[in-house]
Structure 1
């Protein structure tokens, strides 16, 4: 238990002017090392969280929170599924869809994922309509055989709005052998989701046109759902499938993109661990400063021991003094981290103007500003790590001080 006398002495040592300037310098270096490490960690994790949130939001703007599909070729009773879903207060929107793969031929050939949607219902489950940069999603009328392409996909195909593309789906068996199914579509619009998997690989057509092209009658691949709370996507979709009866396959956004989110989380964790080494370096400086302080205070330790202070009390003196250095460094680091994080975009813009460079090209990162998502849990975690490292760094010097023999320490005084 921490007693008031050792704590008071430890705090006095923290404020006292050192006879040895080198010890003061190392203590200052310890504070700066911990503060810089905390500042860099807070800012870096805030930027990484911002990019992750930006990627997730853009991805979820184009995909459903959850999907229900038939455990077979096509889902025939999708209209009932949509009606039941819209009556559920947890579901914000529901829409049928068809997914298939195709080869698109314009000036050049390019494989793509074809998504067939109902333009009237699609707005309730995705942001595709707001992502249009040319044309409108409403141009996908039944029987028009119009197609909407991602910006990069249109670029690779070498086509523009008004041009035609040949869509080749699967092969149809005829008396003359396997013949590919071909259909000419007119490019009626181009979208830009800001996410390469969609901009490069996705083409959108009308649901009825896809049904005719694929010869699936009134069937669809499944029903896409948008929820008010996307973290409950799996449970809500499963409940809906059970109410519909029959055999269905249920999936949600976290499972469909599990590898990507796992990779982003791993990347953030590894960078956090690597940058924590800056705090470790500050903690090593703290060990050095404490060891030097113990050596410098040999006479003081001996006098305290002769006055009745126990070895445990001596340990507390130096642990309090070292821990307070860690606390000061952590507080300075949190303050610096918050200031740097909230002003980072202005700093980057100033550097760009000063040196005439572009640090974040829009055509590379698909963002016009620096995304930042400062999470309280990250700040608490970083502060806790810094304080624990600072506390651990005081144990050996304090233990060494407690072992000081008063007679030996005072022999040459």
Structure 2
């Protein structure tokens, strides 16, 4: 005889197929539903996580994570000691009018001194390295170049009213001739202001920023931890973060990820309720057997455990099948989309997918918890069966 006895009886009820066929069919459907729900959740959450990571690298790789400004000198060492800060660089930013033969457009101008920046960070956003001081060359947004029909080495004029000076002719803005050296990825919408980047000293001269006013760009190990960093900043400093320009976009991505996860989790919820239905039918059809077990001395706790294990078996099996399906499908999602001739995007050749152990653990734990929860009521009713009444009815 199998030991423990409760496990042996639970396995017998779970694997019985000749009797109580309809209850077994419902249990099979619930197992398939949980397997499909778990595998779909693993695939969708992994792809959404991969897309979020790619967007974070592409968008926030060239966007300043945190810019700190002060009207007086800043202690660079104190800024470096802030949580998650891995590097800082002198930084200037302002707005100007870009004038060419084909029109005039308002732009954001940026300059950054990357001479002391670590090489790995320079690869992310270090266009100033190949722009010598005094050359007055800039990189411009690709959309801006297309809009004004500008080519490499074309001449443009940048006009800034920031720190404009009074002359005998009136208020005179700062203006200089710049040359187009290259293009920046176009990451702005129709209503956003395009960006141009140049050498730190050249942009500083254009904006007429004196040495007393200091601004630094802070690089973070993870841009999503920006709130922990800003919470430690001194109150006297002013700052802007990537959330000011890109925060709404990433909130929309997170909301879409949450919505899709909840919708797919409904599949698991429905399958778990099917377990409840199958177990309830099983209990109602085995009342006489339960009464016999109680008459033979089996305690209510053991009967409760039998039917909990019977119902949970469907959830465990469904989770196992879902894992065996979901992880390989996620790892080969690009090949699957290519086989089905599904175009992911015009530029991306690979659909990103990040298999997170934490996500998989939460999915499996949630599915198992729902399966267990739905077994409690039928198992409780089975444990509370009155053996005398049901034996009388049986005989």
Q: Which range, TM-score by smaller chain? A: 0.7 to 0.9
Given the two structures, how large is their TM-score scaled by the length of structure 2? 0.83
Per the alignment, residue 325 of structure 1 pairs with 314
Determine if the alignment matches structure 1 residue 41 to structure 2 residue 41: yes
Q: Report 1:14-413 matches (<5 A).
A: 14-70=14-70, 72=71, 77=73, 93-106=87-100, 107-118=102-113, 120-121=115-116, 124=119, 126-127=121-122, 137-170=128-161, 172=164, 173-174=166-167, 177-192=170-185, 195-196=187-188, 201-218=194-211, 221-226=214-219, 248-249=237-238, 259-352=248-341, 358-362=343-347, 367-410=348-391, 411-412=393-394
Distance change (3 Å), C-alpha of 1:109 and 1:371: farther
Question: How many residues were matched structurally?
Answer: 386
Whole-Å separation in 1 of the counterparts to 2:385 and 2:350: 58
CA distance in 2, matches of 1:156, 1:125: 33
Q: Aligned with 1:377: secondary structure?
A: helix
Shift of 1:387: 0.6
Q: CA deviation at 1:389?
A: 0.3
Seen in structure 2, the aligned counterparts of structure 1 residues 125 and 181 have a Cα distance that, compared at 3 Å, is farther
**Residues of 2 paired with 1:380 and 1:51: CA distance?**
20
**What secondary structure sits across from 2:91 in the alignment?**
strand
**Secondary structure, aligned partner of 2:217:** strand
Shift of 1:29: 0.5
Unaligned stretches of 5+ in structure 1? none
1:300: Cα distance to partner? Answer: 1.4
TM-score (norm 1): 0.80
Give per-residue Cα distances to partners, 1:47-73, cap 9 Å, x unaligned.
111111112222342244544421x3x
Query: Cα RMSD (Å) of the superposition?
Result: 3.6
Matches of 1:180 and 1:397, distance apart in 2: 80
Structure 2: gaps (5+ residues) = none
Q: Is the 8 A contact 2:66 2:242 kept in 1?
A: yes
TM superposition shift of 1:125: 8.0
Aligned-partner Cα distance in 2 for 1:262–1:221: 31
User: CA distance change for structure 1 residues 63 and 186 in 2, over 3 Å: closer, same or farther?
Assistant: same
- Secondary structure of the 2:176 match is strand
